[in-house]
Structure 1
Amino acid sequence: MAIVLLLRHGHSTANAAGVLAGWSEGVGLTDTGRGQAERTAERLAALTVVRAVSSPLQRCLETVAIALPGLDPSTDDRLGECHYGGWTGRPLAEAAKDPLWRVIQDDPASATFPASDEHRAESLGQMAERVVGGVRALDAEVEAEHGRAAVWVAVSHGDPIKAVVAEAVGAGIGGLQRVRVDPGSVTAVHVTSNRMVLLASNTHAGDLAGLVALPTAHDAGDSTVGGGAG
């Protein structure tokens, strides 16, 4: 199936303030974030990107507008940030003192965010199921319309992209916190009929063309025994 480039939104005002933004409104890019999106635009310029799908949140929409100015992106709630419930807007330094923090770090499969009258809450497992399922469904649409070698971009958030990477390497939600995804980074994943294959994670510079080339000697869902030949 097709290849997805997972782009995390650029550095945001919530990142600068050290708070957990979640689905809060009015969280946009900083100057640093806009610069990151501009550099991503340079990296993507050599590729034929057939489709861009973004989280509906402001910081992602601002990122895709800069990184892919020639495309009219669609939005999909499945690519949205985790619903952090009562943790939404909370300073990370304060959250790190909460007993739930250790559960999130050590056993993310059992971590559920506290309910809130103002903000929806979900577990990390529910978030991962939503995002991974969404990426698979969108990828199938891209392949059906543009072919198996098509490249598309999904603009999302840290935890959702971490969930896709953890799925691609077979770790599942239990491996969520073994993945790092920085603002403005690009992660490449090949979604095949039987598994996801991680091509690159958390990249900030360099040519992307080599990451989206399909293997010719074997099925794209397989990895070369002994490693790739270059």
Structure 2
Amino acid sequence: MATVILLRHGRTEANASGTLAGRTAGVHLDDLGRTQATRAGDRLAVVPLAELVSSPLERCKETARVVAARQARHDSVRPRVHSDKGLTECDYGEWQGRKLRELARSALWKTVQTNPSAATFPGGESLPQMQARAVDAVRRRDAAVGSAHGSDAVWLAVSHGDVIKSVIADALGMHLDLFQRIQVDPASISVIRYTDARPYVLATNSHEGDLSWLAPKHRRKRTRSRADQDAPVGGGAGPGTPA
């Protein structure tokens, strides 16, 4: 198993106007969104990424390409951006393209807020379906990255707000009905380290700060020991501890 950095795409005009873009084609980063993506890319430049994976939607691919360019400036190697349909936005069906203020007046809105495990979007998918395919995509790829590059490997998944929230909720062992308690802003970074024992949520909704502590400390492909995977009693010494 490895460590995944979950990056939400930068802001779009749809976000700024309060429109639920969903899977609408042609939704791009706005000026602020590009600035946000650049800032996230600069933070991530110090972390060698074993893989860079994106939702197939334009706003995520644009964000991922900015990160890849920043990686190249730091390491002279520009990672290839892979696409994974499992990371795509929720299929909001008939809600897609509508204003959030309008949707907030519907009965389903309250279900989405208070009982999301029972929410199915008309003509689209349910929130449990979204979570199941997103978690499967992340866990499956994480296992492949760990097998290919070692358990210290770090990879990046660029996706969408509700998708990332659902993956974090799964890692926390949190029922989907509580996932609205998690905040994931545009271009924010969240981090999950998967192990055979359990997932560890290392960060959520991060906008600032040094990420060099995520860089693999071992040059050779490495498998974590049982002690590495267990939760340290008392909290441990943190990521700066010498190997």
TM-score (structure 2 length as normaliser)? 0.88
The 3-state SS of whatever aligns with 1:40 is helix
SS in 2 for 1:68: helix
- Confirm or deny: 8 A CA contact 2:8 2:160 kept in the other structure: yes
Instruction: Look up the SS of the partner of 1:228 in the other structure.
Output: coil
Counterparts of 2:42 and 2:181, CA distance in 1: 29
Q: Is the 1:188–1:211 contact (alpha carbons within 8 Å) kept by the matching residues of 2? A: no
1:109 aligns with 2:93: no
Using the TM superposition, give the Cα deviation of residue 100 of structure 1 relative to its aligned residue in structure 2, in angstroms. Answer: 0.6
**Which amino acid is 1:130 matched to?**
R
Q: Distance between the aligned counterparts of 2:227 and 2:126, measured in 1?
A: 35
Please report how far the alpha carbon of residue 211 of structure 1 lies from its aligned counterpart in structure 2 after TM superposition: 4.3
2:183 matches 1:180: yes
Q: How does 1:23-172 map to 2 (within 5 A)?
A: 23-69=23-69, 70-115=78-123, 121-172=124-175
Assess if the C-alpha contact under 8 Å between 2:27 and 2:58 holds in 1: yes
What is the CA RMSD across the aligned residues, in angstroms?
A: 1.6
Per-residue CA deviations over 1:133-181 (Å, capped at 9, x if unaligned) read 1100000111111111000000000000000111111103122111000
Identity of aligned residues (%): 48
Aligned partner of residue 50 in structure 1, secondary structure: coil
Return the alpha-carbon distance in structure 1 between the equivalents of residues 204 and 216 of structure 2.
16
The whole-number CA distance in structure 1 between the counterparts of 2:63 and 2:104 is 28
Query: SS at 1:49's partner residue?
Result: coil
TM-superposition CA deviations, 1:84-121 (whole Å, max 9, x none)? 00100110111111111110111111110011xxxxx1
Alignment of 1:201 with 2:204, yes or no, is yes
| Superposed displacement of residue 184, structure 1 | 0.4
1:227 equivalent in alignment to 2:235: yes
Q: Deviations over 1:158-217 (max 9, x none)?
A: 000000111111103122111000000010001122422100000011111224668x89
Q: Which runs of 5+ in 2 are unaligned?
A: 70-77, 218-223, 239-243
Bigger drift between 40-49 and 3-12 goes to 40-49
State the secondary structure of the residue aligned to 2:66. helix
State the AA in 1 paired with 2:234.
Answer: G
The residue type equivalent to 2:9 in the other structure is H
1:71 is displaced (CA, Å) by 1.4
| 1:161/1:95 CA distance change after superposition, 3 Å | same
TM-score by length of 1: 0.93
